[in-house]
Amino acid sequence: MLLYANHRPGDAAWLEELLALERGWLGFRLLPVMTAMNRSSQTWVGLSGRIDAGLLKSVAADLVRPVYYAAGAPGMVAAMRAVLNDCGVEDDDIRSEDFHGY
């Protein structure tokens, strides 16, 4: 399962390819989330807002011993680690990578 957060649909690199991958691969689920639709001229019918504890708990409820990966801007990665910890996820089950400069 991939929670794929972007500000707006136009910012979401590889969104069409990921959607195609989801359609063609039964074991893959994509949940794109847009965090700044108020600044977009495009429409969006999917999830919007920040990834929070409620969303994480609902999508992970049926997963057995998940390992979480967070990659992106350092502030976002730190925020996701905090949300995961607040959900009871231990640091040993979180992998992360910061990408600077974008």
Print pLDDT tens along the chain (102 aa). 999 999 999 999 999 999 999 999 999 999 999 999 999 999 999 999 999 999 999 999 989 999 999 999 999 999 999 999 999 999 999 999 999 886
Q: Are residues 43 and 67 in the same domain?
A: no
pLDDT at 102: 64
Q: Are residues 102 and 69 in the same domain?
A: yes
Question: Rounded CA gap, 5 and 32, in Å?
Answer: 6
Question: Does 10 reside within a domain?
Answer: yes
Q: Are residues 80 and 40 in the same domain?
A: no
SS3 (DSSP) at 6: strand
pLDDT at 82: 97
pLDDT at 101: 81
Q: In this structure, are residues 56 and 87 in contact, taking their beta carbons and an 8 Å threshold?
A: yes
Phi, psi (degrees; rounded to nearest 5) at 72: 155, -155
Q: Are residues 46 and 67 in the same domain?
A: no
Question: Does 58 reside within a domain?
Answer: no
Domain containing 30: what range? 1-50
Question: Does 56 reside within a domain?
Answer: no
